[in-house]
Amino acid sequence: MNLESRISNLEFNLMSAFLFNFFLFTTEGGTRNESGWWGDFLHFYNEYLNYPGFEAWRFFNLALFVAIMIYLLKKPLTDAFK
């Protein structure tokens, strides 16, 4: 890939990210009494996973960070660092 196509690709990614975020921020929130599988999921999420300071996404981020650190620490050092 040449520089011009990379810049064009980056501009497209930034514009699509901006538009997607704009769409998310301007959409209307759901009602309090949702029905169906989405309401069941929201009830499950708020009841079991959404404790303040104890959110499940923190454990996912921690597991991902630990996995990357283990991978990087187990890689052998190159000759430049020996």
27-74 pLDDT, tens digit per residue, is: 656 556 667 887 888 888 788 777 777 777 788 899 999 999 999 888
**C-beta of residue 15 within 8 angstroms of C-beta of residue 22:** no
Look at the alpha carbons of 22, 23, 28, 34 in this order and tell me if their dihedral is positive or negative: negative
pLDDT of residue 1: 64
Find, among 21, 43, 23, 20, the residue nearest to 33 by Cα: 43
* Contact (CB, 8 A) for 51 and 57: no
Phi, psi of 63 (to 5 degrees): -65, -40
Instruction: Name the pTM for this structure.
Output: 0.36
pLDDT for position 14: 83
